[in-house]
Structure 1
Amino acid sequence: MTSPVLRQVDHLQPSQPSQDGDGVKIRRIHDFGGGLDPFLMLDELGSDRPDDYIGGFPPHPHRGIQTLTYVIHGGLTHEDHLGHSSTINAGDAQWMHTGRGIIHSEMPLTDHHGLHAFQLWLNLPAKDKLSPARYRDVRASEMPRLSGGGAELIALGGHWSRDDGESVEGPLDALAGHGGVAHVRLDAGGALHLRADAPTLLVYVVEGELEVGDAAVPAGHLARLGGGDQLALASAAGGQALLLTGTPHHEPVAHYGPFVMNTHAELEQALRDYRDGTLTGA
C-alpha cells in the first residue's frame, strides 16, 4: 500500500493592487499562461471605505469563462441580459457560465464591515466556449461544512474529504475543469488535514498566516502546491483561506479584457460580435 504524500508549496504568488469596473479597488492574482489551469484569475475586494468600491461593475460582456463570486461581508446585486436579477449577501455565492456570451452588471452593497468578496475566473475548455450562458445563486445555507480540530471548511463546489474519511460535496457541481472551491477558517492552534489529489491545488490565504505543508504563507498570497495526495493546513494565531482544485485543460489561451478564447482569431470574432450586438446570440 502506497504511503500518503504531503503536498508542498512549489510556487508563491503575491496579490497586486489593481482597479476594475468603475474605480473599484481590488487585489488581483492572474495567470493566463497556464500556471493556475483551469483557474485564470482571483480578485479580492476588501475595504471599509465605500469610495473604494461603490462604483461597482456597470454592464459589461464576457465570453469563454466561468466566474464564481463569493461574499464574506456586504453584498452584490447581479443583473444580466438573460433577465436574472438577484442579490447575494455574506456567505452567499453566484456562479456564471458565460459560454458564448453574457452581458451583466454587479453593484456592491455594504454592511457594518464594509465589503469583502472574491471573484474567480475559470477557463472554459474549447468545446464549451460557445455554449449557452447560465447563471446560478448559491446561499450560505446550501453549503455543507466540515468542522473539528479548530477548523471549519465551507464547501462551495467540489468534493472535500478529511483524512479521517468524513467528506462533503459542494453544491456547485458544474465548475469548469472539475473545479472545487472551499473556504477554510482556522482558530488559533487549529489544523486541517485533507485528502487532496487533484492535479491543480491552490491555497489563497485571506487572513493571518497559515502553515501550508512545511511553508508559512502570509495573507494576500497564493500558494501553488506540488504533487501528492494530502493537504495539511495549520495556524498558530488563526486565519482563513480559499482552497481551489481542478484539472488543467492544457489548451492554448488567448485573452483580451473580458474575453478568453483559444486563438486571436476567436478573440477578434468576439469583439466583432460585441460591436455588432450578436455576442449573446441575439
Structure 2
Amino acid sequence: MEQMYKRQPGARPLLRGIGSQASADGAGVRIQRVPGFDSPDFSPFLMLDEIRSERADDYIAGFPPHPHRGIETLTYMLNGEFEHQDHLGNRGSVSSGGAQWMRAGRGIIHSEMPGQAPGGMHGFQLWINMAAANKMDDPTWRDIQSAEIPELALDGGESVSEGSLIRLIAGTWHIGGEERNAPLTDAAAEAAVADIRLAAGAEVLLPLPAAHSVLVYVYAGALVTERGTIPRGNMLLYGAGEALQLRAQAPTEGEGAGLLCLHGLPLREPVAHYGPFVMNSREEIEQALRDYNNGTLTD
C-alpha cells in the first residue's frame, strides 16, 4: 500500500530519480553506477559508484594504477577495506566506516585495492568536479578513519542507539540548530557528504544552503517521497528550497532507510569527460591524454 506523503513548507521538491546501472570498472570490479556528467542538476557531483557484494571475485581485483586529472574523489566504506597508493608516495587504508579523499588536480596516478572482510564489501566512490580555475592545482590525498567521523542522533534522542542518525563525512551541516563541520571541509565546490540512517517510519527535516544542489542516494531500505516509495539503488535529485525532507518507509513495510546525502555549489561550467579525465573542453582532454602518454601528466 502506497504511504501518504505531505511536503513541509520550505522543503525541496523531488525533481526526478535516476536508477543505478550495473557496470564494471578497474580490473573487472562489479559496480552499480549513477552517471551525472551531462546533468546540470548533478553539479558539482559527476558520478557515484556503489560496490556491494559478498563474493570476493566481484571486487578483489580492484583498481590497479591509473591516472586522473580535473576531479576529486571521495571513497566511503560501509563494510570492507580499501588501500590507496599514488605516485606521490602516499599510502593508506580505511575500513568499515572510514573514507578516503583525493584531489587529482593537474594529475595523479594511483591504485585502489580492496581487502577481504567478513560480509564482503559495501562502499561508494563519488566523483566531484573541480572549478576550471582549480583543475591544475597540486594533487593531494588523505585518509579519514571511522573514529574521526562524527555520528549524531537525528530524532531528538541523546544517543545514536535510540534511532535515526547521521554520520558527517564532508562539508558543513546544520544539526539540531547547530552548525557542525565534518572532518573534510576543503572539498571542491563546498561539497558535503553524509551517511543518514533512518529508523522505520522516521522523518527528518535538514536545513541546507539554498544555493546548493541536493542529491540523495538510497542504499538500503526505501524512502517515501511525493513521487512514491523509492527503493535502494536510486539517486534522487531535488529542486530549490531551504531544507531537505526525508522519510523512511513505515515499520509495516520493512526496514528503514540508508541514505548517502550530498549537497554542493553548482559550478555551471562546461564539462568534457573522457575516461579518468574531466576538463572543460575537448582540447583540454586531448592535452591530458598527450601528457599521460608522454609521461608528463604529473609534472
**Shorter-chain TM band:** over 0.9
Looking at structure 2, the residues matched to 198 and 144 of structure 1 have their Cα atoms a distance apart, in angstroms, of: 25
The answer for unaligned runs of 5 or more in structure 2 is 1-7, 156-162
Structure 2 equivalent of residue 153 of structure 1: 166
Residue 141 of structure 1 pairs with residue 153 of structure 2: no
Residue 126 of structure 1 pairs with residue 132 of structure 2: yes
Equivalences for 1:199-238 in 2 at 5 Å?
Answer: 199-212=212-225, 215-235=228-248, 236=250, 237-238=255-256
Query: 1:65: Cα distance to partner?
Result: 0.2
RMSD: 1.4
Shift of the 15–60 alpha-carbon distance from structure 1 to 2, 3 Å rule, reads: same
Q: Deviations over 1:62-100 (max 9, x none)?
A: 000000000000010110000011111001100000000
Looking at structure 2, the residues matched to 132 and 168 of structure 1 have their Cα atoms a distance apart, in angstroms, of: 28
TM-score normalised to the size of structure 2?
A: 0.90
- Report the residue type matching 1:7 in the other structure: R
Structure 2 equivalent of residue 274 of structure 1: 292
- Report the residue type matching 1:219 in the other structure: R
Looking at structure 1, the residues matched to 33 and 244 of structure 2 have their Cα atoms a distance apart, in angstroms, of: 24
Looking at structure 2, the residues matched to 67 and 208 of structure 1 have their Cα atoms a distance apart, in angstroms, of: 26
Aligned residues: 278
Residue 245 of structure 1 pairs with residue 263 of structure 2: yes
SS of corresponding position for 1:202: strand
TM-score normalised to the size of structure 1?
A: 0.95
Query: 1:14: Cα distance to partner?
Result: 0.3
SS of corresponding position for 1:7: coil
SS of corresponding position for 1:83: coil
2:13 to 8, 14, 19: 8
Structure 1 equivalent of residue 37 of structure 2: 32
SS of corresponding position for 2:289: helix
SS of corresponding position for 1:112: coil
Structure 1 equivalent of residue 5 of structure 2: none
CA contact (8 A) 1:200 1:248 kept: yes
Query: 1:211: Cα distance to partner?
Result: 2.1
Structure 1 equivalent of residue 193 of structure 2: 181
CA contact (8 A) 1:4 1:228 kept: no
Looking at structure 1, the residues matched to 178 and 199 of structure 2 have their Cα atoms a distance apart, in angstroms, of: 20
Structure 2 equivalent of residue 259 of structure 1: 277
The answer for unaligned runs of 5 or more in structure 1 is none
2:24 to 19, 44, 62: 19
